[in-house]
Structure 1
Amino acid sequence: MRHRAGPADVSGEKRWLALSRTSRETHAGPARPEIESSWARSRLNGLRQDGSPGLRQGTVAGVGGLTRAAGPVMERVRAELDDTPFAFVLADRSARIVDIRCSDRALGDLGIVPGVRFGEDEVGRNAIGTPAETRQGLFVRGDEHFLAAFHDFACYGHPIVHPLTRRLEGVVNIGGRAGDEHRLFSPLVRRVVRDIEDRLQLDASGAQRKLLAAFQTAARSPRRPVLVVGHGLVLATPSALDLLEPADHAAVQACAEGMRGGGEATHRLTLASGRTVRLRCAPVDGVEGALVDILPEQEGRRGTRGPGPAEGRPLLVVGEPGSGRTTEARRAVGPGAVVLDATDVVRQGERAWAASLVELLEAEGPAVVVENVQLLSERLTSLLARCLRGVRRETVLTVTPGDHLDGAHAPLVALCGARHDLVPLRRRRHDIPGLAQRMLAETSGTGPRRLTVDSSRVLAAQPWPGNLAELRRVVQAVARTRSAGDIIPSDLPASYREAPAPTSPFRQAEREIIVEAIKAAGSNKRQAARALGMSRSTLYNRMHALHIH
């Protein structure tokens, strides 16, 4: 999401650009257009030209595809430039330095060391973060750096793009003292990038050979349903293919890709056929991939879905909007339950709604479901808590998660004998293909329809802030446009046709924190930024980087 500046912002930005342009033209002639646009982005990130570099050293990732491919190339470059004053830097796709070969101590004095991130949002325009942002090579002369601290250096940076996946893998940068044009920077770095990309392609081919070897070992028993997933390669035994339908393939891959920490993981999955299986995912040694065993569950075994009223009442169902709170509440108490929704307080008034509540909970009868208790005022919360102490019928409360459960609505939480927290859809991606296919089957059409593996994979990768309700709307939109046949990604609504780029657990957590802060502030970005302890421009920049719309 891009920040649209208001009239005051535009005029201020023009004045700032005019001043910065005058300053730079005095020393180096008219600034290039791409310089101006990058400086404007730097300012919107809340950075000051005379500010000190906010370089914070983080953790450098372990050995991966980029470091394996780049290591020998960087060592060769070090040998070739050993007697020169130039620095050679390798950064990952997030613009974090992972390797640096340099004899100039000035860089170390500035804090330019492995683990430091050089994103545009951290230090403004530079020849590491800007190529990572634009995916284009860039030469930055001394005073074209946004921060004055880097005006003594001239640098050229070029992105590294994986030849097979076309994903950004990192950036190679060369730098030296400002004053010379360093015309060889560009061809030298381009050659280094080309060598690294060639090694990435070879590394991917070697990884696929390791995956194939692991699969051949696991598939010695033809009756063993097993798959190997990784590096753009999926291998499956005939018995695994007999069990899986297209939607199931995407679910299995989501489980394999969701492994954390390199250890084994087990997931319980309901297949499109209705059969329940366990997926045991184990890493393949020496490669980014997983061996997935499909283990059918024993007949009669039932998965636990959380406590029901028989184990304690009232029952509290906690879940985000659209996550299926109402469905879970009615499943817990069965058909015939009476529903009282807190959203009706606005229409009925507190007095009338309170009278209905007391009448229901102080009499005997069928179960009662009280929906959206997070909307209740302090007085109504106290009234509901008093009624729950002597309730004579099964009662289920539904509520959204949040700090209010430890604050205004804590008395209700304390009175509930059981609690069921619904997992957001984005945290159970392996369920999405099967859910989408079942929703599609429930819609009307002239013939059978099926989500292809690619379509299921794209849907599984979406963030789904609206959870099940959002997924159902998307499936219904697809059903209206295609009444029969296979559904491919181009059949999906435009904003759902591409899978978001894979993200780290940290970036996912950051995204969720920002989304929740904006919700809590009623979509007021200024208030949300204040609650997060950042400027509004920084918030807009993080929203853009994390694809928050």
Structure 2
Amino acid sequence: MFDSSGTRDPVRPEIALSWKRSRLSGVDPSAAIAVDTADQDAESRLLRAATPVLDEVAQQLAGTGFCVLLADRECRVVASVYSDRLVERTIERLGVVNGSRFGEEHAGTNALGTPLEVGRAVVIHGEEHFLDSLKGLSCYGQPILHPVTRRVEGILDMTGIVSQANPLFAPFLARAAADIEKRLLEGSKASEQRLVDAFQRVSHQRNIAVAAIGDDILLSNRTALDLLDTADHVSLRSLIADLNPDQSRLVTVELASGALARVQADRISGADGGALFLVEPLQRERAPIRRTHERTPSPGERLRRDLMRARASSSAVAISGEAGSGRTSAASDVVGSVDASWHDATRIAFDGREQWVTDLVRAARRRSGVVVIEQVQLLPDSVLPMIADLIDASAEGPRIVMTSGAVADLPPTIAALLSRCASRVVITPLRERQAEIAELAQAMLEGISPELRLTASAAEALTAASWPGNLAELRVVLHRAAGDRASNRIDVTDLPEDYRTTTKVSRLAGREKAERQAIIGALKDCGGNKVHASAQLGISRSTLYTRMRALDITV
């Protein structure tokens, strides 16, 4: 970046990060601005709130040489006002029209996409733009937040040529954004208002956690904030998946903290699937005699218990689980700080059987420590008798710890080998640990970056995934979602596309899933144009919108 004298200006950190994100997204600086040809909803909540404000802004812009652009939460331009016709033609020649996509993944660093990415107002001046076509402009972008949910509803941008940059951009645009936010609150959808009203009627109750959860809104009283976490929000939503409006359910559940609670779940009529939850913690009763039916521990609790017992024992240990389930981590947990030698059966293909066996025998001759043999399901039958002898003699030599694939997939010879181990640890596949996925994901995120937090919608989507790659797959997904984000929130839209299916979709019946797939296919065929898609499907556009909402389809 250079100033008018040709001296290089220091690059602001937020701009440098944005350029890095732009390059990682594969944006070409010489590319034209992408335009979304899909039809726009003129009755959207954002446009209803913004149109009167933009009308007033247009009067104030007259003769200034500036324009103001409005983009939705997908960073697509949905409205614009200009000081005069000349400015309008100039901006349109750059490719800035209704439907233009200004997300950083499409247009690089700019005053619509970058504020959306970082969650706050940003100035982008001249050469700071990533696209060459925008470098002659000076722009200021201000996010528009819903006053209740604090979710970004859109972005407001003020643009002029570089030589006309003015520090008054900021207060002018901030005031306009505040006016739109006020109208958003006043014009909140009736469905959201019904959910808010239901929450306000009961939120004052003491010692009872009250939460109202809808597609775009989450309200909690102080007790709920202390008692519930993200994993609980996902569990609560699953309680009302099969309820009709005005239906209720009373159940006892175990919260993520391990505490028991009685939950009354009420599906609110006219609230677009929103529900009210009253959560009352229960005291665990102390029976005078030993109970014969105790609470079933979660898979994670069983794993921690089995690993603790294995650490305390001196016998051979067999750890079984699917690929990516954490077998090596579990083995490391058992080994602890004890000196250990590691031998992976996959190395036989590279080192040769004789060399691999020689290394193993050398390690086994020690009188102490641990010998870890990984992936024993890959061992050739010829070495199994020797491994069996090592297990049987482990009381007098180094301790043997083995890892293998899932028990159900093991050949009889390997299953027989593992049966010689006195300590057995079986790791449950991630798809069978749905109640723990949100907690596991949050712990992984904190390992990536301590300030990152998983939203309820993202946690729900992760819970609905099938996870054939188990924890290893989850870790990859979270790394992709985290990326170089400046925001500390990981929302469902930050997840890779294949992982954005919600619990609501996963519970659809076969016919509904087929209908959902047909609608998605039609929208894809028509480039997202809902008018053309409805014609292809043989239904009205209003019916298409209704079914898209019911089947959780977003475009």
Which TM-score band applies after superposition, normalised by the shorter structure?
0.3 to 0.5
TM-score normalised to the size of structure 1? 0.47
